[in-house]
Amino acid sequence: MLVISELTKTFGANTAVARANLEVDKPQMIGIIGRSGAGKSTLLRMLNRLTDASSGQILFQGRDVTALRGAARRGWQAECAMIFQQFNLVPRMDVVSNVLHGTLNRRSTLSSIFNLYPDADITRAIEILDRLGIAQHAPKRAEALSGGQQQRVAIARALMQDPQIILADEPIASLDPMNAQVVMQSLRRIHEEDGRMVIANLHTLDTARRYCDRVVGMRDGKIVFDGTPEQLTTGMAREIYGADSSFSEAATSTEIETLDKVPA
């Protein structure tokens, strides 16, 4: 279904992603872990074509995604909707309009300017919000919602595009544990009920273990682990994070960054 081969991204002398290979045969829920700077975001951004790869290839259902240009590239970006740590909503705009924003790339400029949304789209947006348990907030400004609710609005906006893949770059890194759980459960449900592939960069290992079928570990731009949560031993996890015995599964990738500096 999705084949990533020898995918590489360099920024000057720095290699952010180094010859990454990944094969996904069916729509799985995949968690990508690794310490800060390991290349997780760069990998997702190349998948979505927000960033061009320096070399290597991405194939989705036999199509060469890396070669898409113009409208074909934008079409691909709708097929693999992305959600971010900071939600990226329009804060002063109401929730339902934020969700409808997900349809903008298939509407004419004129109807977009005047905020003219077809009734069918509005109904669909409300249905999606309802499914995520936040339909009652539809008329409110996005900024009036909690972080967890805002992230669900971002998921609703992504679903509005009916994507085959949902890419999530640290979707719960700014949320408290309760909201983090609700957002991860929403992603899991979307994966299970709709059969959509979910690829999420996660900043803690225990979240990846709990919600994902498959965990990919990155270190220094390379994929150094690819397997099930069961196959991911504590020893392997330490190797991915380059951490010593002080490593804990609940530690975040940013916390691990500072472990080195703590004297043994």
Residues that bind ligand ATP (CB under 6 A): 11, 14, 16, 34, 36-42, 253
Give the residue with the Cβ less far from Mg ion, 41 or 207.
Answer: 41
The rounded distance, in Å, linking the Cα atoms of 82 and 62 is 21
Tell me the three-class secondary structure of 119-153, residue by residue: HHHHHHHHHHHHHCCCHHHCCCEHHHCCHHHHHHH
- Residue 15, token pair as written in the block: 């290699």
Report what 253 binds from Mg ion, ligand ATP, none; CB cut-off 5-8 Å by kind: ligand ATP
Judged by beta carbon distances under 5 to 8 A according to partner kind, the member of ligand ATP, Mg ion, none in contact with residue 28 is none
41 vs 97, beta carbon nearer Mg ion: 41
Q: Which amino acid is at 262?
A: V
Number of residue whose CB is nearest Mg ion = 41
Distances (CA, A) of 170 to 11, 25, 62: 22, 24, 28
* 223-260: b (≥16 Cβ within 10 Å) or e: bbbbeebeebeeeebeebbbbeeebeeebbbebbbebe
- In angstroms, give the least distance from the CB of 67 to Mg ion: 25
Residue type, 183: V
Closer residue to ligand ATP in complex, CB, 14/245? 14
Tell the smallest beta-carbon distance from residue 94 to Mg ion (Å).
30
Residue among 148, 135, 140, 127 at smallest CA distance from 95: 140
State the nearest-atom distance from the C-beta of 37 to Mg ion, in Å: 8
**Which of residues 5 and 15 has its CB atom nearest to ligand ATP in the complex?**
15
Shortest Å distance, C-beta 7 to Mg ion? 16
39 binds, among ligand ATP, Mg ion, none (CB under 5 to 8 A by kind): ligand ATP
What count of other Cβ atoms lies within 10 Å of the Cβ of residue 57?
14
The partner in contact with residue 189, picked from Mg ion, ligand ATP, none with C-beta cut-offs of 5 to 8 angstroms by kind, is: none
Q: How far is the CB of 33 from Mg ion (least distance, A)?
A: 11
CB of 245 to ligand ATP, least distance (A): 22
If the CB atoms of residues 53 and 138 are measured against ligand ATP, the closer one turns out to be 53
Q: Mapping DSSP to helix (H, G, I), strand (E, B) and coil, where does residue 80 land?
A: strand
Residue type, 74: R
Residue 34 touches which of ligand ATP, Mg ion, none (Cβ within 5-8 Å per kind): ligand ATP
Of the two residues 39 and 163, which places its CB atom closer to Mg ion in the complex?
Answer: 39
Q: Are 200 and 30 in contact (CB under 8 A)?
A: yes
Residue 217 contact among Mg ion, ligand ATP, none, beta carbon within 5 to 8 Å by kind: none
Question: How many other C-beta atoms lie within 10 A of the C-beta of residue 183?
Answer: 24
Q: Which does 16 bind (CB under 5 to 8 A by kind): Mg ion, ligand ATP, none?
A: ligand ATP
Closer to ligand ATP at the Cβ: 47 or 158? 47
